[in-house]
Amino acid sequence: MKSWFITGISRGLGLALARAVLADGDTVVGTVRGTAAPLTADAGRLRLLHADMADEAAAVSTVHEAFQAHGPIDVVVNNAGYGLLGTVETSTDEELRHLFEVDVFAPIRVVRTALPYLRTQGSGHIVNITSIAGRAPGPGIALYAAAKHALEGFSASLAQELAPLGIRVTAVAPGQFRTDFLDQRSVRMSRPADSAYDTSVGTSLVALDKINHHQLGDPARAARAIIEAVRSDKPPLHLLLGSDALRRAREKSAAQASEMEAWEALSKGTDCDDL
């Protein structure tokens, strides 16, 4: 039996994961910031903690409480997050700061606070929910893409830092999943831009609006995939979820490889001659 700490289990992917974990007989210590999550479990197998992840002190004390009152914890999942849509030109520092507080700083703070406990336990698995936007973004989501790229890069280096300590790291990059992610109650929107952006950002925003609640991905299946990856003897460092994520990541890798090749001579030409 495993014990999971999951941020943002009120709805969406976090709720689906908490449900699947509880259905397996495991234990969930989950965070919510408003109303309680619509979950039931045998007494003792579900604990709810309250924290707005934009609040540094609340995020940190929640992790302490999770380990001190409900530990040991085997799996730490940074799931809580939201998207910011619109043009970079019309975005504000306030929007940028809040986005990074929730989508980047909070997950890093959660990891930093959890690490002494995980090291004492001698084991653990950190799962950071990133996004395909953190690997192969389209237009209209530059700041969200920046946040999720940060979490992908953080995870990749962290995994190497923690491997000798027996602590695993997986960055999970979902494609488009049928949650509230694109709902007005979740996603935030920068001020509208002028018509110069109609064919790039404008087109992308119309497409995103159309797929709200019609996304390809099933959150319950995403939850099962995350559990399978965590249970694996050799868990992946990067896990894509959804055929759309797989396609976009493959296209991005191929474009990157071909660009690297096209510019190889210029790249190599900057080396010093004395080595």
Ligand X SMILES: NC(=O)c1ccc[n+]([C@@H]2O[C@H](COP(=O)([O-])OP(=O)(O)OC[C@H]3O[C@@H](n4cnc5c(N)ncnc54)[C@H](OP(=O)(O)O)[C@@H]3O)[C@@H](O)[C@H]2O)c1
- Answer for which of 5, 82, 154, 197 binds ligand X (CB under 6 A) is 82
Least separation in angstroms between CB 172 and ligand X:
8
52 beta partners: none
Q: x/- binding map, residues 191-220, to ligand X, per CB under 6 A?
A: ------------------------x-----
Least separation in angstroms between CB 119 and ligand X:
26
- Answer for which of 3, 131, 155, 190 binds ligand X (CB under 6 A) is 131
Catalytic one of 82, 117, 144, 197: 144
When the beta carbons of 12 and 140 are compared against ligand X, the nearer one is: 12
| The one-letter amino acid at 7 | T
How many residues does the structure list for the chain?
275
Least separation in angstroms between CB 97 and ligand X:
12
Angle in degrees, 0-180, between the axes of helices 219-231 and 12-23, rounded to the nearest 10: 60
Q: What are the C-alpha distances in Å from 80 to residues 88, 152, 163, 259?
A: 23, 15, 25, 35
Q: Is 128 in the site for ligand X (CB under 6 A)?
A: no
Q: How many CB atoms lie within 10 A of CB 156?
A: 13
| The one-letter amino acid at 26 | D
Instruction: Give residue for tokens 């408003």.
Output: 34
Which residues are CB-neighbours of 22 under 8 A, at least 6 positions away? 28, 39, 41, 45, 46
Q: Is 102 in the site for ligand X (CB under 6 A)?
A: yes
When the beta carbons of 52 and 65 are compared against ligand X, the nearer one is: 52
> Which range binds ligand X by CB under 6 A, 61-69, 76-84, 161-169, 199-207?
76-84
| CA of residue 138 relative to chain centroid, distance | 17
- Answer for which of 3, 10, 91, 155 binds ligand X (CB under 6 A) is 10
Least separation in angstroms between CB 110 and ligand X:
11
Q: Is 137 in the site for ligand X (CB under 6 A)?
A: no
Least separation in angstroms between CB 130 and ligand X:
7
**Alpha carbon distance 39, 32 (integer Å):** 12
Q: Is 30 in the site for ligand X (CB under 6 A)?
A: no
- Answer for which of 4, 5, 14, 62 binds ligand X (CB under 6 A) is 14
Extract the tokens encoding 274: 């004395």
Q: Is 21 in the site for ligand X (CB under 6 A)?
A: no
| 144 in active site | yes
Extract the tokens encoding 112: 């930093």
**Alpha carbon distance 78, 135 (integer Å):** 18
- 100-120 CB burial, b ≥16 within 10 A, e <16: bbbbbbbbbbbbebbbebbee
Binding positions for ligand X, 210-269, rule CB under 6 A = 215
Binding site for ligand X (CB under 6 A): 8, 10-14, 33-34, 52-54, 79-82, 102, 129, 131, 174, 176-177, 179-181, 186, 215
Q: Which amino acids are annotated catalytic?
A: 144
